[in-house]
Amino acid sequence: MSSRVLAAELSRHVGARVRVAGWVHRRRRLKSVTFVVLRDRSGFAQVVTSGAAPPEETVVEVRATVSANPRAPGGVELTSPVLETLSAPVSPPPFDLYRPVLPALPTILDHAPVALRHPLLRERFSLAAAAVRGFRSTLDALGFTETHTPKIVASATESGANVFGIDYFGRPAYLAQSPQFFKQALVGVFERVYEVGPVFRAEPHDTARHLAQYTSLDAELGFIEDHHDVMAVLREVLAGMAAETGGVTVPERIPEIHFAAALELVGADPREPDLAPAHERALSEWAVREHSSEFLFVTGYPMAKRPFYTHPDPARPGYSNSFDLLFRGLELVTGGQRLHRHEDYVAALGGDVSSYGDYLAAFAHGMPPHGGFAIGLERFLARLLGVANVREVTLFPRDLHRLSP
């Protein structure tokens, strides 16, 4: 028998006898005929049969004739079919996968292995793959090297809180909250590195924005002047991601506002050390109104609210060479310039470097001025698609309550 034809290719085979395969997406029995909508990875095909048809989610192989029918989806339908069942379901799906409206989120999450087959959900994760492809291809073209770093680490040194403990051959160890220390050390090796991988946060709160595991798109680059060089690379990365996903326009130059000016703009107390969610929303609206941009860089966050490795602003004491990128009202990316001199790390750590020995090793041997950023893939998708909860754009979410499926 000839090789399998995908649903999306059928219009090129009008008049021919073909073999297709997929799932029975929907079965509609009328008086004299039954319509079977077949689903495969490329799309849908309508099969018209006068015989019996198996129930939804049955996996079938169909040998049939491709007939033109302007009223059928894609302009063709499959006639005179011979259906063979490859795999029969033992029970109906938890909800009708062919209905255009999704059920409530808990139903989706509880039944993810089947629910994800819904075309609306599947499409989200095709977009996730496209976004990551855009991230990588942009950085590959800019001379970055992809790396794979340890997810098991000896100490919880980056933030100290919200880490998962592991029994590592009888010794305590932790799941990495980010590849931060590794990507900085690797700037000393490759100058420009990126990593796409899981990061882990033992987030004890049940929020719409936090997961115990998410996919972090990390980049770090050396020989920068300051954080603006990092922001320029981030702009290229976002444009590369948007080129693959569609759904958003990244301006040639993303507008920028200093943290102090941002506080003033939203009418907040100038002594506030951070932006509240309402401030972020107001600033995003301002960027759309004043700069026609759905993205906004807020730069120069106070040193007090940034990690110890943040580079200060040499011109403005108390402020840092850091940034957040707001996208449609929420923080999407955090980044900035890092310290690069060994003595600056020793000072920043208050001289207590005992638990940072491995981290500081790279800085003891010459590190260029550098910086980087991390994009949360799920946050990007949630904002891009306008869904409220990051769980809606995570295949199998892990959180305070959910460890399966």
Residue 124 is which amino acid?
R
- Asked if residue 158 belongs to a known ligand binding site, the reply is yes
334 marked as binding residue? yes
> Minimum distance between the CB of residue 308 and a second copy, rounded to whole angstroms?
18
Q: Which amino acid is at 128?
A: A
Nearer Cβ to a second copy (51/113)? 113
Return the number of other C-beta atoms located less than 10 Å from residue 67's C-beta: 16
- Is residue 364 at the binding interface for a second copy, with CB under 8 A as the rule? yes
Number of residues that bind a second copy (CB under 8 A): 91
Is residue 191 near a second copy by the rule CB under 8 A?
yes
Nearer to a second copy, 152 or 388 (CB): 152
Cα–Cα distance measured from residue 43 to residue 37, given in angstroms and rounded to the nearest whole number = 10
Q: In whole angstroms, how close is the CB of 123 to a second copy at the nearest point?
A: 11
Q: 304 vs 341, which CB is nearer to a second copy?
A: 341
- Residue 247 lies near a second copy (rule: CB under 8 A): no
The reply, when asked if residue 123 is annotated as ligand binding, is no
- Minimum CB separation from a second copy for residue 92, in Å? 8
* 140 is a site residue for a second copy (CB under 8 A): yes
Q: What is the x/- site pattern for a second copy, positions 381-400, by CB under 8 A?
A: --------------xx-x-x
40-48, 74-82, 275-283, 298-306 -> range binding a second copy (CB under 8 A): 40-48
Please give the residues from 113 up to 132 whose contact with a second copy meets the rule CB under 8 A: 113-114, 116-117, 122, 125-126, 128-129, 132
Residue 205 is a binding residue for a second copy (CB under 8 A): no
Give whole-number Cα distances, 232 to 88, 255, 288, 404, in Å. 53, 11, 20, 39
- Whichever of 10 and 112 has its CB closer to a second copy, that residue is 112
CB of 40 to a second copy, least distance (A): 7
What separation in angstroms does the CA of 296 have from each of 220, 266, 284? 20, 14, 7
1 lines the binding site for a second copy (CB under 8 A):
no
Q: Is 111 in the site for a second copy (CB under 8 A)?
A: yes
- Taking CB under 8 A as the criterion, the residue among 169, 205, 270, 386 binding a second copy is 169
Least spacing, CB of residue 287 vs a second copy, in Å = 29
202: left (phi over 0), alpha (psi -120 to 50) or beta: beta
What is each CA distance from 83 to 41, 73, 90, 257, in whole angstroms? Answer: 19, 20, 19, 62
Residue 372 bridge partners (DSSP)? 220, 336
Taking CB under 8 A as the binding criterion, the range among 72-80, 85-93, 275-283, 297-305 that sits at the site for a second copy is 85-93
Q: Does 57 bind a second copy (CB under 8 A)?
A: yes
Q: Which residues are annotated as a binding site for L-aspartate?
A: 158, 201, 334, 338
Q: Which residues are annotated as a binding site?
A: 158, 201-203, 209-211, 331, 334, 338, 376-379
Q: Which residues are annotated as a binding site for ATP?
A: 201-203, 209-211, 331, 376-379
